[in-house]
Amino acid sequence: MATIFEGAGVALVTPMKENGEVNYDKFQELVDMQIEGGTDSIVVCGTTGEASTLTHEEHLECISVVASCVNKRVPVIAGTGSNCTQTSIYLSKEAQKRGADALLLVSPYYNKATQKGLKAHFLGVAGNVDIPIILYNIQGRTGVNIAPQTMADLGREADNIVAVKEASGDISQVADLMYLSNGELDVYSGNDDQIVPLMSLGGKGVISVLSNVLPKETHDIVALYLEGKVKESAELQLKLLPLIHELFSEVNPIPVKKAMNLMGYEVGPLRLPLTEMEEAHAAVLANEMKKIGII
């Protein structure tokens, strides 16, 4: 299968009303802002989208609404991972029906499958859908690392497993993955502070939290690199590093929702067990946003 996208995909927040319900009407504004800013793909119902606290009905409605709002302008990637393989299969099949162009599958969390179990899980999902799949490796949130060899094997065993969102933070692991997959898997950075290093090893871009507040600049980090303007790309990455750090000063998506509310996007509160940002952290975040002129 062809590359799903090259550039910066946004891991979109899920807007909420003050009463905690999903604010489906707000998605159109957020999607339009992203696409006008140059975002190359929209990821809905990922970690940043608080997928773990959405009901299945809400989860699938978010995918339907975002696919409709995007209206084929850029690829829509639906997060449909679960720690239950049957649940992931169900969500993935429904996401395909509802207009998703690709899927993002986080490794099963909490039950901590072996590498053999991970393979069986991902192949089980891949065999039930016809759209491309991005594996999502983020041991810090799942408790398990997908080994580079496992990812490379999966790419060879399933035609529709085509990419990896790598958020291990381990650049040596990324190098191993690039070597073992030999160009058969596209790799995206799952960390906004590692876009340039990952692209230097052959990455296709980033699936980004930062894009929620700075879609153009995040897109430009990748675009400049792809144009051969490595120095300019790195300079922009480093310029935004203080803001990136503050966007992860508490667990994602607490700070990015705060940032978007400070910018006037009215994306609402978080769902428990996530709580509003500590005032001291929020003040530092606001200060960094003022420095670069976005509030």
Q: Which stretches of 152-212 are assigned E, i.e. beta strand?
A: 161-166, 186-189, 205-208
Q: Are strands 133-137 and 102-106 parallel, antiparallel or unpaired?
A: parallel
d(CA 220, CA 198): 15
Which of the following is catalytic: 24, 26, 119, 136? 136
Tokens of 293: 């002129």
Question: Could you give the 3-state DSSP secondary structure of residue 238?
Answer: helix
Tokens of 129: 């859908």
Which of the following is catalytic: 119, 165, 257, 258? 165
Q: Is 179 a catalytic residue?
A: no
CB 26 within 8 A of CB 266: yes
Q: Is 17 a catalytic residue?
A: no
Going by C-alpha positions, the residue among 237, 248, 60 that lies closest to residue 141 is 248
Whole-number Cα distances in Å, 232 to 6, 217, 223, 239: 18, 12, 10, 10
d(CA 84, CA 108): 7
Q: How many helices (H) and strands (E) does the chain have?
A: 13, 8
Question: Could you give the 3-state DSSP secondary structure of residue 83?
Answer: coil
Tokens of 89: 């299969």
- Partnered with residue 166 across adjacent β-strands are 137, 189
The residues annotated with a catalytic role in the active site are: 136, 165
